[in-house]
Homo-oligomer: A and B are copies of this chain.
Amino acid sequence: MKGYDARDFPPVAVTVDLVVLTIRADRLSTLLVRRGGPPYQGRWALPGGFVHPDEGLAAAAHRELAEETAVGAPAVHLEQLGSYGEPRRDPRMRVITVAHLVLAPDLPAPVAGSDAAAARWCPLAELEPGKLAFDHRQILADGLERARFKLEYSPVATAFCPPEFTVAELRRVYEIVWGVGLDPRNFHRKVTGAAGFLAPVGRTTTRDGGRPAQLFRRGDATVLRPPMLRPASS
């Protein structure tokens, strides 16, 4: 069983798929492409494609992201989400896909790729569950759950914000991704008190109205201790 001769086995293809989450007009949205050919022709799907011969998995994910959104690597958070390889998830052949999760600030309109007839940002609330191709409904659900969970114990929420942001803008990220309301005063105290979460820029902005708010950049912490606690409801 471990002869390591690939010719003993039928062909396998390896792809990367992307769950790209962003916040547009106060709604959590994901990037979808409409499939231009069979199977699932005309259905919406997660963006993705083959891993090239001399390319690592993360590199393939970054390349696909750039092809679809013209967004460079440094501006977003990208992490591996998990691999999906049920034998018949693609009716044509054995395809194992390595899904990646991307958290990004509000990005420009997407670019339709060569194989995709169209691409768009779809608010998650408007997505009919059964409408995605392949097992992409499950992958999207897993990505959303991962994002919600990571907001608790890591500073990735800042990936949804522009490079400089206010506490209120960061709070809106938590409220939208978690679907809850948070007390602005307690949130402010907690987030500014968490070591390494935020680095003050030293300037202020009034773009949200009212009293000027401090601008922050993301700090250098990789983990939040203690974590941000999601209200008990969910």
Contacts and interface: CB of A to CB of B under 8 A. Distances in A.
Interface of A: 1-4, 6-14, 37, 49-57, 67, 80, 82-87, 92-94, 96, 98, 113-116, 153, 225-227, 229, 232
Given A1-B115, A54-B87, A82-B83, 16 more contacts: A2-B114, A2-B116, A8-B50, A10-B53, A12-B12, A12-B14, A14-B85, A51-B85, A53-B87, A53-B94, A57-B83, A57-B86, A83-B83, A85-B98, A153-B153, A226-B229
Contact of A9 (B13, B98, B225): B13
B9 A53 contact: yes
A9 to B, nearest CB: 6
Contacts of A55: 87
B93 A6 contact: yes
B98 A1 contact: no
A137 B115 CA distance: 39
A3 B115 contact: yes
Q: Which label, helix, strand, loop or mixed, suits the secondary structure of the A interface? A: loop
A13 B13 contact: no
A92 B185 CA distance: 59
22 contacts: A1-B49, A1-B50, A1-B114, A1-B115, A2-B49, A4-B37, A4-B50, A7-B11, A10-B53, A12-B13, A12-B14, A12-B51, A14-B96, A53-B87, A55-B87, A57-B84, A57-B85, A57-B96, A80-B82, A80-B83, A83-B98, A227-B227
B114 A85 contact: no
Contact of A67 (B1, B82, B83): B1
Contacts of A50: 1-2, 4, 8-9
Nearest to A232: B225
Contacts of A226: 229
Contacts of A225: 232
